[in-house]
Amino acid sequence: MPGAIGPAMGEIEGRARRGSRLQVQIYVNRHPEELSEAVLGAFPELSDRGGRIRWTAPLEAENFREPRDRDFLHAIGYERLAQELAAFWPVRGPVWDALAVVEFPSGPHGVILGEGKSYPEEFYSGGTKATSTRSVETITRSLARTQEWLGLNPDPERWMYALRGHPRSSLYQSANRYAHLYWLREVVSVEAWLVHLLFVDDTTHLATSRARWRAGLKQVERELGLEGVPVPHAGHVFLPALGRFTLP
Would you write out the chain's pLDDT as a tens digit for each of its 248 residues?
Answer: 333 333 444 568 899 999 999 999 999 999 999 999 999 999 999 999 999 999 999 999 999 999 999 999 999 999 999 999 999 999 999 999 999 999 999 999 999 999 999 999 999 988 898 889 999 999 999 999 999 999 999 999 999 988 766 665 699 999 999 999 999 999 999 999 999 999 999 999 999 999 999 999 999 999 999 999 999 999 999 999 998 777 76
pLDDT at 169: 67
Compute the distance between CA of residue 47 and CA of residue 33 in angstroms, rounded to an integer: 14
pLDDT at 125: 87
pLDDT at 247: 74
Burial 146-169, CB ≥16 within 10 A → b, else e = bbebbebeeebebbbebbeeeeeb
Could you tell me the pTM of the whole model? 0.93
Compute the distance between CA of residue 35 and CA of residue 120 in angstroms, rounded to an integer: 20
pLDDT at 149: 98
pLDDT at 120: 96
* Bridge partners for 66 per DSSP: 12
